[in-house]
Structure formats: C-alpha cells, structure tokens
Amino acid sequence: MPPYLLLAVAIVGEVSATTALKLSENFSRLGPSVVVVVGYLVAFGVLGKLLKDGFPVGIAYAIWAAAGIAAVALIGALFLNEPFTWTMAGGLLLIIGGVVLLELGRSH
C-alpha cells in the first residue's frame, strides 16, 4: 500500500477514535467505546507499519498530528456544537502551513 494511503488510514483511525472518545461519555457507552479501542489500534498499528517501512518519523507524525487536529476541530464544530472562531481557523492554517514546509524541506 502506498505510504500516503497508509498515513491516511492511520489518520482516519485516530480521528474516529478521538471523536468516539467524546461520544463514549467516559467509556459508559459501549458502541463509541469499541470505536475508541479499534480506532486507536488501527491508527497506531498502521503508523507503526509506515515507520517500519522507512517513512520519516518527523514527517509522518507532523502530518498525522496536524490532520488529526484539523479534522477533530472541524468535526467538533460541525457535529458536536463546539466553538470554532476565526482565531482557531488561523491556528489551524498555521499548523497546516508548518507541515507543508516540513514536507517541502524533505525534498531538498
């Protein structure tokens, strides 16, 4: 499987697990609690495979973390009635810009 596709799978697993963590209500709801465990197992398992295959850890973690932060913030705002301000949007853009610069720096 191509490295960036593996990374996407890890990100989806982590975002699903983190979102379900909120919905699990401190693990008192079975369905979301199962998603938490499975999602984190997928996320860390796939991320581990990616790193074992030689993908740079700094780049993998930067993309994984930034995409997770952005996705969870947007999911919170759109579906969980959590606040999202212009300042927060600016912060997400800075995080994404930092990841892009890391990726560009890797190619030199």
pLDDT digits (tens, 9 = 90+) for 66-85: 999 999 999 999 999 999 99
User: Does residue 53 sit in helix, strand or coil?
Assistant: coil
The pTM score is: 0.89
Q: Inform me whether the pLDDT recorded for 108 exceeds 70.
A: no
20-68 residue pLDDT tens: 999 999 999 999 999 999 999 999 999 999 999 999 998 899 999 999 9
**Angle between the 30-52 and 3-23 helix axes, to the nearest 10 degrees?**
160
Over the Cα atoms of the chain, what is R_g? 15
d(CA 92, CA 67) in angstroms, rounded, equals 9
Q: What is the pLDDT of residue 70?
A: 94
33: which 2 tokens? 């609690």
pLDDT of residue 103: 82
